[in-house]
Amino acid sequence: MIGEYENSLCPTCGGPLQKQVSAIPFLLKQNAIVVVKGVPAEVCADCHEPFLAGQAVDRVSEILRQLRILSSEVSVIAYPEAVVA
């Protein structure tokens, strides 16, 4: 998670961050894999690590909370476009 960086440099490797949409995988405690596609993120041009701003973190957290109820081993979910700012 990140805020808006003035210099837009990756906190992991120092590469430049670019606003993009990304597919981000998550491993839940029940050994379930969830991929959330189309998440607005700042993605490092060098190491390709995605970083999410607060609103996207909140929405992805809610999606993951809801998916924990399911007994699916693998889920691919689209990020809701209505929330993208």
Per-residue pLDDT tens over the stretch 38-82: 999 999 999 999 999 888 999 999 999 888 888 788 999 999 875
User: Left if phi > 0, otherwise alpha if psi is -120 to 50, otherwise beta: which for 39?
Assistant: beta
Asked if residue 4 belongs to a domain, the reply is no
Total domains in the fold of the chain:
1
Return d(Cα 17, Cα 2) in angstroms, integer.
11
Tell me the per-residue pLDDT of 9-41, one tens digit each, with 9 for 90 and over. 999 999 999 999 999 999 988 788 999 999 999
Asked if residue 47 belongs to a domain, the reply is yes
Asked if residue 69 belongs to a domain, the reply is yes
Domain boundaries, position 68: 17-83
Q: Is 57 exposed, middle or buried (0-12, 13-18, 19+ CB in 10 A)?
A: middle
Assign 7 a pLDDT band (cuts: 50, 70, 90): low
Asked if residue 79 belongs to a domain, the reply is yes
